[in-house]
Amino acid sequence: MFPGVMDIEAAIPTAMECTEQEEVILRLPLPEGIMKPTEKENHFTVDMTDAVQACFTKQFVEGYKSPITGESQRVQITLFP
């Protein structure tokens, strides 16, 4: 969690209200096709359930060549939060 400070100017220039709130930033890798465009250009929405499932479900890479054995194989990618 990251503490954040938000400054809000009042209608009177000499009066200002400051509030503090904690914010949570969750960075997830997003696979192709999960982002849905909106009416605004270059703006997208992402369903959080789809994003979390895509990040933490099993993912595989076909044809990975081991640098030690030189064999091609299917390997599972594991992400650690």
Per domain, the residue ranges of the chain are 2-77
Q: What is the reported pLDDT for 25?
A: 82
Residues 37, 27: Cα–Cα separation, whole Å: 19
Structural element, H or E, at residue 75: strand 72-77
- Please report, in tens digits, the pLDDT of each residue of the chain (81 residues total): 445 444 455 555 666 666 777 888 878 778 888 899 999 998 999 998 888 888 777 778 888 888 888 888 888 877 665
